[in-house]
Structure 1
Amino acid sequence: MNTIKYCFIIILLSFGVISCSSNKRMEKSKDSKFSWMPTVAAPYNYPIEIKYAFVGFGTEGDEYPVMDRMVHKGLGVPRGAVSLNEFEEDEKQEVPNSINVLWLSYSEAKYYEAKIKLPKALQDRMTDLFKKELYLRPQKKRVKYENFVITLLPGGQIWLYLAAKGRRDLICDTIQAHEVKMPLKQFDKEAAHFAKNTKEYCINSMDSDVVANLQTNGIPMKLWDTYRERFNYDIRLELEDPKARLGTTRTIYNYANGEFVYEYDGNPIDMKARLSELLFEWNVGETKYEGWFYFDEHEVIEIFRKAFGENHNQRGEFIVRVSKYNNKFEIFLRVGVKEYPLKKTKIYAFLTTPRGGEEEDEPYYSNNWDINPDDIRFIGG
């Protein structure tokens, strides 16, 4: 009888162990699945057209299709979308583990193809990022990364980003596609009705400002190598008016490598690319000020190169100083004891008062009245 009782207890304990192990496996499985959407991007001045793009995940060859075709909103800026039949917003899947894409680079009139298995280290990094929560202060809510962005560059370069509302991180910039040869009708049988060859089709597909950029700047292949350079610097915003206070909801940093960050999201970037744009708010009493700063590409590249030299790890500070009367702006990079002023930044400053008024729709200060801020961008951004 005691033997039977003993066996019965062992069986119960075994079921408990199996149940616990099963629960642990289920919890681990849940921890490795996330809600994300695959998208595609390309630099504004270097548009591309996709024949197909798929992002693989899991262990059984599953993949999501990206449905959009013509893309050029900017580095890391997605436009593509998946088929609604293939993707449910609340569905969770493992992190991306492969990409399969074929595209046409309009600026080069060349086709590129990539079938890439993503390294385990990159998958682990994505897992860590997908688990993170970011604080989106303007909306006073926490958000998570939700977009996997494949950015297609001239020369067949591929950069990968993870993006959230108010945040975009460059997670890989070393993938290289290979050029493939094909007739236009093989890429798109309908396109062959409108153009005799690939080159003619590409020229006809580009906007006039994109064509103008191509004629002026060509395809500066090494420029993206410069964009992805990182430096050890902090950004400091200084207000000379003793009554002024920095705002805490809209401080936005855009970087040359396509990354952007809302300040105060709880996850600062240590090594940063060069700033390309900056927006921040400050308050004086009931008057709210907002400054938009668009840095000159050539100047910011040369200033960082001169200031840091070969040692990108030395500590620096990028300083924007607002004058006592909120109508003058001083910008400089400090590395060690040396300061390097930036004098070509395009600035637009706005103010909002309790009484309001139509005049508040226009900048109260600008050093470039004739230039629309929407038209300001880095050549390869």
Structure 2
Amino acid sequence: MARITTIKLIFSVMVLLSLLHNCGKEGRIVKHKFPYMVTVTAPKEYPIEVHEGWLLNKDKKLICGMPRSGKENQGWANDGTEAGQGGSEIPTHLNLTYIAYAEKKFYTVDADLPSAKILEGFRKGFSLVEVPNDQNIYTDVKHSTYDRFTVGAAPGGVIVVWLSAGHHRVEICRLQAKEIFIDKDKFRPSPDPDETQEQFFNTFYQVAVKDSVRNDISKNGIPFGLWDKYRTKYKYRFILKPYDGKDKIVFESIRYYNGEAVIYYPQDLSKQDYRVAGLPYNVSISFTKYNTEIFFNDKELMRIFENFKQKYPDKPVDIVLVPTFMYNEIALYVECNGEKIKLEKAKVDKIWGG
């Protein structure tokens, strides 16, 4: 009798362990599912359009197609058009074929994705903070995560993948597309046997690319390599030099030229830490009473930051804001190792509050 009881006990323990093991596996599977929409974007000056493409899972099975939603040129810092394509599985492979109108070429990329990094990005997510409308006080910190998987296509076949949600965006990887021949009649909605491939490219170059951009291309060419330069990161921070020395920065929402974006709250800013990041495209900053939005010039910033990097390779950089009394104006300069350079082309778009 004791032996039977012992056998039953062992059997029960084995069943329980099996259930726990399976629950653990199921739990991991659930945790690996993060719903997202898929979008495709491109720089505003250099529109593209998807021909075909898809995302695959770890078993090389289809997650979804790449959205075909017409011309895409929302900008490097913005997601593309949502067109009903998405999933919740972690993608492991990307296939995308598209036309680059300004280059008069079709490109294709067929590459594995860093699935572990994608999963880590979804899991890490970001802090989401509710903001009272009447004052710059940030409370109720919550964890949130990304809900868009965005593929950017820049001139030269530069492909960058981001995870994004609202004002949060993080780069996952950079890939390289290659030029490919696609019969224009397989791309066009309606075949035109009387049109040559060259005529097709020339027609859509005129239609899809703005006059000002075409004029710039005829004079200076396409700035190949620029979007890889944007991916260079520097160690810097924003700091405030108020007239009375008492004010401080309590909020930063930054969009970077490399396509990333982030929000920092008081708990992130209190230590005035330096961060390694791409050059800022624009920043919305709140002080204790006032707020401002600033846009930066990429060429001016690249020249200054590269100059400092060569002269002071181990020194961090400050982007300094100097407001006047009552914050009617804000002057800007960049400082490294005691050397200061005024930002001539940065634009303080607006100042409000008080």
Query: Distance between the aligned counterparts of 2:83 and 2:311, measured in 1?
Result: 43
**Which deviations, in whole Å up to 9, do the C-alpha atoms of 1:132-186 show, x marking residues without a partner?**
342333556643111111001111110011111221112212x111111133212
Q: Which residue, 101, 105, 119 being the options, matches 1:106?
A: 101
Deviation at 1:105, TM superposition (A): 0.4
**Which deviations, in whole Å up to 9, do the C-alpha atoms of 1:28-47 show, x marking residues without a partner?**
11122211121111001111
Query: Distance between the aligned counterparts of 1:312 and 1:53, measured in 2?
Result: 42
Query: Distance between the aligned counterparts of 2:128 and 2:36, measured in 1?
Result: 18
Deviation at 1:5, TM superposition (A): 2.1
- Aligned to 1:308, what secondary structure does the other structure show? helix
Deviation at 1:257, TM superposition (A): 0.8
> Does the C-alpha gap of structure 1 residues 20 and 41 become closer, same or farther in structure 2, counting only changes over 3 Å?
same
Residue-pair matches, total? 337
**Which deviations, in whole Å up to 9, do the C-alpha atoms of 1:31-67 show, x marking residues without a partner?**
2221112111100111101112322224251221223
- Aligned to 1:71, what secondary structure does the other structure show? coil
**Which deviations, in whole Å up to 9, do the C-alpha atoms of 1:92-145 show, x marking residues without a partner?**
722221111110001100000111111xxx322221221134233355664311
TM-score, normalised via structure 1 length? 0.80
Deviation at 1:328, TM superposition (A): 3.2
Q: Which residue of 2 aligns with 1:156?
A: 157
1:151 maps to amino acid:
G
Please say if residues 230 and 312 of structure 1, whose CA atoms lie closer than 8 Å, have aligned partners that are also in contact: no
Report the aligned-residue RMSD: 2.7
Q: Which residue of 1 aligns with 2:200?
A: 197
Q: Which residue of 2 aligns with 1:22?
A: 22
> Does the C-alpha gap of structure 1 residues 295 and 348 become closer, same or farther in structure 2, counting only changes over 3 Å?
same
> Does the C-alpha gap of structure 1 residues 133 and 236 become closer, same or farther in structure 2, counting only changes over 3 Å?
same
Query: Distance between the aligned counterparts of 2:293 and 2:5, measured in 1?
Result: 78
Q: Which residue of 2 aligns with 1:183?
A: 183
2:111 maps to amino acid:
I
Q: Which residue of 1 aligns with 2:217?
A: 214
What are the residue-to-residue correspondences of 1:287-298 with 2, within 5 Å? 289-298=290-299
Query: Distance between the aligned counterparts of 1:186 and 1:103, measured in 2?
Result: 12
1:169 maps to amino acid:
V
Query: Distance between the aligned counterparts of 1:5 and 1:226, measured in 2?
Result: 72
Query: Distance between the aligned counterparts of 2:278 and 2:313, measured in 1?
Result: 10
Please say if residues 279 and 298 of structure 2, whose CA atoms lie closer than 8 Å, have aligned partners that are also in contact: no
1:22 maps to amino acid:
N
Q: Which residue of 2 aligns with 1:377?
A: none
Indicate yes or no: 2:224 matched with 1:229: no
Please say if residues 46 and 153 of structure 1, whose CA atoms lie closer than 8 Å, have aligned partners that are also in contact: yes
1:101 maps to amino acid:
L
> Does the C-alpha gap of structure 1 residues 141 and 185 become closer, same or farther in structure 2, counting only changes over 3 Å?
farther
What are the residue-to-residue correspondences of 1:1-381 with 2, within 5 Å? 1-65=1-65, 66-83=67-84, 87=86, 93-118=88-113, 122-137=114-129, 139=131, 142=142, 143-173=144-174, 175-190=175-190, 192=192, 196-241=199-244, 244=247, 246=249, 248=251, 251-264=252-265, 270-284=275-289, 289-309=290-310, 313-352=314-353
- Aligned to 2:5, what secondary structure does the other structure show? helix
**Which deviations, in whole Å up to 9, do the C-alpha atoms of 1:207-244 show, x marking residues without a partner?**
33433443454211121222111111122133224675
> Does the C-alpha gap of structure 1 residues 243 and 17 become closer, same or farther in structure 2, counting only changes over 3 Å?
closer
Q: Which runs of 5+ in 2 are unaligned?
A: 132-139
> Does the C-alpha gap of structure 1 residues 290 and 192 become closer, same or farther in structure 2, counting only changes over 3 Å?
farther
Query: Distance between the aligned counterparts of 2:120 and 2:40, measured in 1?
Result: 22
Query: Distance between the aligned counterparts of 1:316 and 1:171, measured in 2?
Result: 25
Give % identity.
21
Deviation at 1:308, TM superposition (A): 1.3
Please say if residues 237 and 274 of structure 2, whose CA atoms lie closer than 8 Å, have aligned partners that are also in contact: no
